[in-house]
A = this chain, B = another copy of it.
Amino acid sequence: MNNAYAEEAKMMLSSKGYKLTRPRLVILDYMAGVSGHPSIQEIYEGILINYSGIGIATVYRTIDLLVEIGYLRALVLLNNQLRYELNLPDDHHHHLICKACGVIREFNSCNFNSISEEIEDTTCFKIEEHNLEAYGYCSDCLSKKAGYSTENM
């Protein structure tokens, strides 16, 4: 639960002139406490449990706002589905996605910096960010795979 980070975001919203309404506070807190990388639908359903009045349009609008102020970060996976996670400062990581069950794990190793200058030189681009996703099979699915053996996963 990233309370301090959530409080910071509330102050940020407020200082930018955005009102601290109930739906905004609920979504913000929900994201501070959630584990995993929920989609809009999952966020909506997760919040409905404790706050039955919320509308999905508000979830879309609020998540966009939270991405805009830098509180959240959007993740685009190969199946073309958007998912969201906290955009904590100094938390540079990437994602490893299981092609069988879809589970997402994070990893921190990243040696992109060692090649980024070379790429800038050869392409004349100024690079600001990068995304790295690896796809494969998690240990659970690997053992199932070994079990059924002939399955083509």
A-to-B contact residues, CB < 8 Å = 74, 76-78, 80, 82, 96, 98-99, 105, 107, 109-112, 114-116, 118-120, 122-139, 142
Contacts and interface: CB of A to CB of B under 8 A. Distances in A.
A132 B135 contact: no
Contacts of A99: 128
A139 B124 contact: yes
A96 B116 CA distance: 11
Given A125-B137, A125-B139, 8 more contacts: A110-B115, A111-B114, A112-B132, A123-B138, A129-B136, A130-B132, A130-B135, A131-B135
Contact of A76 (B78, B105, B134, B137): B78
B127 A134 contact: yes
Given A111-B114, A111-B115, A135 B129 contact: yes
